Amino acid sequence: MLSRTAENLFWSARYIERADSLARLLEVGYRISLIPNTEKGYTNEWESILETSGIKNEYLKKYKTISKEKIIFYLLFDPENSSSVKNCIKTARENIRMVRTAVTLEVWNAVNSSYHELDKNLKETKNILKELPEIIEWIKKQVNLIRGTILNTQLINDGYDFLILGTYFERADFTARIINVKYFILLPSINYVGSDIDNFQWSLMLRSISSFRAFKWAYGGQEITYTKIIDFLILNMTCPRSLIFSIEKINHHLGRLSKFYKQTSTSNKKIGLMYKKIKNLNANKITEIGLHEFLKSFIEEINYVYKKFEQKYFFGVET
Amino acid sequence: MYNEVYKNSKVRKFYNQIYDWAKSLPENVIVKKKNEAENLFKKIGITFSVYNNFDSTERLIPFDMFPRIISSIEWKKIKKGVIQRALAINAFLNDIYNSGEIIKAKLIPENLIYKNPAYEIKMIGFKVPKRIYSPIIGSDIVRINENIFKVLEDNCRTPSGVSYMIENREIMMRMFPELFEKLKIETVENYPSYLLDALKSLAPKKCNKEPKVVILTPGSLNSAYYEHSFLADLMGVELVQGTDLFVDESITYMKTTRGPEKVDIIYRRIDDKFLDPITFDSSSLIGIPGLFDSYKSGNVNICSAPGSGIADDKAIYSYIPEIIKFYLGEEPILDNVKTWRCCEEDAKKYVLNNLNKLVVKEVHGSGGYGLLIGSKSSKKEIEIFRKKILLNPANYIAQPILELSSVPIFDKKKLSPRHVDLRPFCLVGAKKTKLVDGGLTRVALNQGSLVVNSSQGGGVKDTWILNE
């Protein structure tokens, strides 16, 4: 297929995943705003939401102060925020539109109608805070619909691999970032362990990747501890938002591409090594390395894999 | 005004069933069906960006549900006439870029060809694959009365609208399947495969395997982008942009995830001047450096050929009857509309004295821009055009204001007549010239308006050729 087609498919899926992540972040924000808390505590939470989505500076340049209504608007609809949900869906649609012929009619319809309906939602929204739960629900539903049509209607060929790779490169990056922004709450400390603050913070983190209940199921309702959370978010193959899960998917689909084209790339080798490494880790070892250090090198490595992948398939020259 | 539905104030026999059907639709059903059609169009993404309209880059092209019907006898004549023109136009292009017999025979003034801005000097003497310059020709046909169809213009570069012809049919079949049981209507769905066949028959000299066809688009911001992707999809070929292609050692390749792949035939939907920044407009960012060299060395074919546009120049148009006689030795099956060329002194005088009764067109204008409809213009507008004509007479032609035929539309729940034209799409391959039995009917949605261009408030209708 055309290199540009592959690139458009990849980015459309990546932007859709990003819209989904933003919706989940906002869900956490909404939850906090319902829980009585000190003014400072809750402001901090909104700040870290901005930080996790990597747009704190841009936001502050425009609005100067942290305000939940403004943050919500900024994250959902602001046309000036290039990674607002609206712009993510718009960009995803633009990308698909450019390669209309590479996706099924069902996929195009799902993306196209999401875009048109979101525009309608924006116009009809009167009280953004009050209507937030419905908007979030709607976004998640649309993302599931789009992904469902991809799974059910696309040919399972190279185009499919590029779509899936877009999803998991984004998810690996997002999960790593969300843990990194919050890594300090996962540090072992005698003062923290078992305190209410811990439990609250940890549950928020789980919720932000939609894994609160999944966690409970996975660990049989045991007490939440930082090692279990590290295990769950980084090393648990049953958790679809864990780092290892994304790495396994990327490894698999890069492998499929390599077989399909009968060509190999540095990205194949590198992701293979990453997967091997993460498989042999456990939560204690990560704590020994230092969670922050681990995440830092994880983000660097996955970026390197992406760069090599991009060179190979999108630019046609591996340097 | 000639209304196609009636004959001697009675509904014509082949419109009977449709007319009764349309009359019997309750108001609420009409409204509901209109919404349904709009939603269907929106879903498949038929959007049309209009120049000069920066706020909303996408708008739906209005679709009217009342079909336009053409009998098989009427169609046979149109079809023959269109094929005749398409063959003559290609023979003409081949001639003027080679020996120029028609000029030697003094049938067309030399200046009109060799000094025409649409004449491409770089094409002189080049042997175009199979001598086909313009494989896709969309002629705009108007109906004057029950028996007379005339050609208003021919589009030889990259005529658009064929996607609407196909989609309009899809929508009608989905919404009113019962009508297709009552009437036998010719299908239009073969168009993409006919087009692919025609293009494949035009492989360049140095292609000795199954030719690789691509469609070249300026990009997703282009007003006809939907059509480009639609055709690529139905033909099963890649839709490429300039940046997807490159030329190495005179061979044209596209960049793919497997590495470079050779391209043999480019159905281009971009203008000549943007094709290759080395040969043509050097500021073009959407072109492919070296493409023209690859073309001239027989490694790739560009359809339509650069320089084909001269054949749809409005001044050349007026010579089409002579062109047909000269190359084919036949009488034209479809007439032209009477045309005054302002470059001729007598004609200019007549035009200037009768501006309020004429349509004046710029020779190189298109899309309904840059024209004057005398009867609908203010004195001031007429005076502006008078000055323009005096300043540069060769740049203008004039035609009588045609009473285009009309067909009803559903106007706010009831039927009301509107002017229409017809654009069939003729495909010229190496061995066969053919067209699907159908075309695009454009309709001027504003009451009394004669401008059917979609950029000027026009809409579309499904066109039914009856199989009798």
The angle subtended at Cα B132 by Cα B129 and Cα B134, nearest 5°, is 130
Which residue of chain A is at minimal alpha-carbon distance from B260? A316
SS3 B178: helix
pLDDT given at position A123: 86
pLDDT mean over A265-279: 96
The answer to whether the CB atoms of A313 and B43 lie below 8 A apart is no
Residue B190: is its pLDDT beyond 60?
Answer: yes
pLDDT given at position B367: 56
The complex's ipTM works out to 0.77
pLDDT mean over B412-425: 92
- Chain A: residues touching B (Cβ < 8 Å): 1-6, 94, 97-101, 105, 108-109, 112-113, 116, 158, 257, 261, 263, 313, 316
Is the Cβ–Cβ distance between A199 and A142 less than 8 Å? no
Q: Which of B43, B229, B256 sits opposite A3 (nearest CB)?
A: B256
**Tokens in use for B455?**
């950029």
Distance from CA of A94 to the nearest CA of B (A): 8
Residue B80: is its pLDDT beyond 80?
Answer: yes
Residue B52: is its pLDDT beyond 50?
Answer: no
pLDDT mean over B42-70: 62
Chain A positions in Cβ-Cβ contact with residue B234 (cut-off 8 Å): none
Residue A305: is its pLDDT beyond 80?
Answer: yes
> Which candidate, A33, A22, A50, places its Cα nearest to that of A118?
A22
| Neighbour-count burial for B378-415, b at 16+ CB within 10 Å, e otherwise | eeeeeeebeebbeeebbbbbbbeebebbbbbbbeeeeb
Is the Cβ–Cβ distance between A218 and A232 less than 8 Å? yes
pLDDT given at position B48: 38
pLDDT mean over B429-438: 96
pLDDT given at position A41: 52
Distance from CA of A49 to the nearest CA of B (A): 33
Query: What CA dihedral angle connects A213, A215, A217 and A222, to 10 degrees?
Result: -120
The answer to whether the CB atoms of A98 and B232 lie below 8 A apart is no
Q: Which residues contact B239 (CB under 8 A, 6 or more apart)?
A: A99, A100, A101, B214, B215, B217, B228, B229, B232
- Chain B: residues touching A (Cβ < 8 Å): 42-45, 219-220, 225, 229-230, 232-233, 238-241, 243-244, 254-260
pLDDT digits (tens, 9 = 90+) for A20-64: 999 988 887 787 777 665 555 556 678 878 888 888 889 999 998
pLDDT digits (tens, 9 = 90+) for A185-215: 666 554 554 556 666 777 777 877 777 788 8
Which residue of chain A is at minimal alpha-carbon distance from B240? A2
- Across-strand partners of B417? B408
The answer to whether the CB atoms of B229 and A116 lie below 8 A apart is no
The answer to whether the CB atoms of B219 and A98 lie below 8 A apart is yes
Q: Which of A1, A101, A313 sits opposite B229 (nearest CB)?
A: A101
pLDDT given at position A268: 96
pLDDT digits (tens, 9 = 90+) for B306-333: 999 999 888 899 999 999 999 999 999 9
Q: Which of A4, A112, A263 sits opposite B244 (nearest CB)?
A: A4
Parallel/antiparallel/unpaired status of strands B440-444 and B458-465: antiparallel
The answer to whether the CB atoms of B229 and A108 lie below 8 A apart is no
Which of B129-133, B342-346, B356-360, B368-372: highest mean pLDDT? Answer: B129-133
pLDDT digits (tens, 9 = 90+) for B91-100: 999 999 999 9
Distance from CA of B258 to the nearest CA of A (A): 6
Chain B positions in Cβ-Cβ contact with residue A4 (cut-off 8 Å): 241, 243-244, 255
Residue B56: is its pLDDT beyond 50?
Answer: no
Query: How far is Cα of residue B185 from the mean position of the Cα atoms in its chain?
Result: 23
**Tokens in use for A44?**
């901090």
pLDDT given at position A281: 95
What structural domains and CATH numbers belong to chain B? Answer: 338-401 (3.30.1490.270)
Among A116-125, B191-200, B212-221, B359-368, where is mean pLDDT lowest?
B359-368
Count how many pairs of residues, chain A against chain B, have C-beta atoms within 8 Å. Answer: 57
**Tokens in use for B257?**
């995830």
Is the Cβ–Cβ distance between B110 and B401 less than 8 Å? no
Instruction: Say how far apart CA A40 and CA A61 lie, in whole Å.
Output: 21
pLDDT given at position A245: 97
Reported confidence tier of residue B136, pLDDT bands at 50, 70, 90: very high
pLDDT mean over A157-185: 89
Chain B positions in Cβ-Cβ contact with residue A5 (cut-off 8 Å): 238
pLDDT given at position A212: 78
pLDDT digits (tens, 9 = 90+) for B235-253: 999 999 999 999 999 999 9
Residue identified by tokens 């984004």 is A170
Q: Where are the alpha helices (DSSP H) in chain A?
A: 3-34, 39-52, 56-63, 68-76, 85-98, 105-124, 128-153, 158-181, 196-208, 212-218, 226-230, 243-261, 266-279, 283-289, 291-310
Q: Which residues contact A56 (CB under 8 A, 6 or more apart)?
A: A47, A50
The answer to whether the CB atoms of A108 and B241 lie below 8 A apart is no
Of the residues B170, B257, B258, the best mutation for testing chain A's interface (the one with the most A CB atoms within 10 Å of its CB) is: B257
CA distance readout (Å), B285 to B158, B240, B254, B423: 20, 14, 17, 32
Residue B47: is its pLDDT beyond 50?
Answer: no
For A266-294, the DSSP string reads HHHHHHHHHHHHHHT--HHHHHHH-HHHH
Chain B positions in Cβ-Cβ contact with residue A261 (cut-off 8 Å): 257-258
Distance from CA of B226 to the nearest CA of A (A): 9
Parallel/antiparallel/unpaired status of strands B6-7 and B10-11: antiparallel
Reported confidence tier of residue B186, pLDDT bands at 50, 70, 90: very high
pLDDT given at position B326: 98
Is the Cβ–Cβ distance between B333 and B81 less than 8 Å? yes
Chain B positions in Cβ-Cβ contact with residue A109 (cut-off 8 Å): 43-44
The answer to whether the CB atoms of B233 and A4 lie below 8 A apart is no
End-to-end Cα spacing for chain A = 21
The DSSP letter of residue A315 is I
pLDDT given at position B150: 96
Between A36 and A116, where is the model more confident?
A: A116
Reported confidence tier of residue B51, pLDDT bands at 50, 70, 90: very low
The angle subtended at Cα A202 by Cα A201 and Cα A207, nearest 5°, is 100
Task: Spell out the SS3 assignment of B87-122.
Answer: HHHHHHHHHHCCCCHHHHCCCCCHHHHHCCCCCCHH
The answer to whether the CB atoms of B257 and A2 lie below 8 A apart is yes
Q: What is the mean pLDDT of chain A?
A: 87
Chain B positions in Cβ-Cβ contact with residue A101 (cut-off 8 Å): 229, 232-233, 238-239
